[in-house]
Amino acid sequence: MGARAVLIAAVASGQGKTTVTAALARKLARAGRRVRVFKCGPDFIDPMVLGRASGAPVESLDLWMVGRERCHRLLAQAAREADDILIEGVMGLYDGTPSAADLAREFGVPVLAVIDAGAMAQTAGALVHGLRDYGPVTMAGVIANRVGSPGHAAMVKASLRDIPLFGTLPKQTRSLPERHLGLVLPDEVDEVDAILDELAGQLVFDEAAWNALPPVPFEEPVPEAPMPAALAGKTVAIARDAAFVFVYAANLDTLRKLGADIAWFSPLADEPVPRQADAVYLPGGYPELHAPRLAEAQAWRASIRAAHATGVPILAECGGMMALADTLDDGAGQWPMAGLLPGNVIVQQRLAGLGPQAMPTQHGTMRGHTFHYSRLETAAPVSDYTSKNPSGAQGEAVYRIGSLTASYFHGYFPSNPEAVAAMLSRNAP
């Protein structure tokens, strides 16, 4: 099986990879093509934007966190269903261990380079040839971002020599807004679809060159081994609202494959933990943007304390953990939270944690990542520390208080379903 596929990469962050990927996905989808988009590395926000642009769910691909076998399975499934596969890279093409270039080479996917041509012309060729030859990687072509005029585009095109220029985007008058953890969530932007349509319309694109790309073959993967139904008959309550939005689709899929039923609830709406909940999962998000409302949510706060008192397993990741501290200081005030984890969360301007990490459990390590600007000041004893990849250095603290497991670490559940089932089961080792 095969499909047209490219990995969209650049020399660094901030070059316009997400903008270009979203514009291309929307343009192809509007042309009636079946488009599947993936995102390299751990990320929650870009996949939401790319999913909105393409009209299809977006999953993460990462040779370490996701694993080669699952990456292969996801790509092969997409090749069966789609005409075009777009994989947005992370940071620069060769950044990270493993890098986006490693992923491209592993599956034979050519690279579509995005260059910010706003302050260059002929040097674009040197930049792209360096990207191609350093690895090396197979270079499918280039999309030049922030191009000022047709003449500017012609200079860029000539400098590329044997590498085709697939398209150009002008300097954008409107773009997707950003905040401290990345782009603003698409559901918070009233005109997000209009912006995506505008970007797609501005993308000057060589359809003939695109259609000439040979399909990338993906071998049929080994059938996935069924998961034991360790959570069969159990209901996992998951917080979902504007304060708790960072959940991998793969995590939900893992819970369902383990046999769990999912019950959603909204702490921001002051909804209590559902009575039928056998376990609670509090994912990350933006509690710092909604601290006053969370402080007023008396029913939610009382219900999570009651669940903890009766031994209901609670897994709290990053923002979920922040909402369980005694207080949250958002810079404008210090707001009372649920009080299951003693201490104060302080939101700061400086990045406090970033990168892939692994969390130890009694069932082996779970892989995932961390990305946060706040810090927790607490006297609670640390149960474990995650380890950073690839250095093995000490990472995030993991707290276990009664039935609560809490950390800034975001777990990728498919990396260790057995550990997930144990953390969400009563009296499990």
Q: Which residues are catalytic?
A: 318
3-class secondary structure, 42? coil
Nearest-angstrom CA–CA distance, 193 and 30: 12
- Tokens 């089932």, residue located: 421
Amino acid found at 264: W
Q: DSSP characters for 147-181?
A: E--HHHHHHHHHHTTTS-EEEEEE--SS---EETT
Q: Are 9 and 87 in contact (CB under 8 A)?
A: no
- The residues, ordered by sequence, that sit 6+ positions from 190 with a Cβ below 8 Å of its Cβ are none
CA pair distance 168, 183, nearest whole angstrom:
22
DSSP 322-351: HTTEEEEE-SS-EEE---SEEEEEEE-SS-
3-class SS of residue 248: coil
Per DSSP (E only), the strands in 176-277 are 178-179, 182-183, 204-205, 216-217, 235-239, 261-265
CA distance linking residue 193 with residue 189, whole number of Å:
9
- Alpha-carbon distance of 422 to 429, in angstroms, equals 7
Strands 204-205 and 165-170: antiparallel
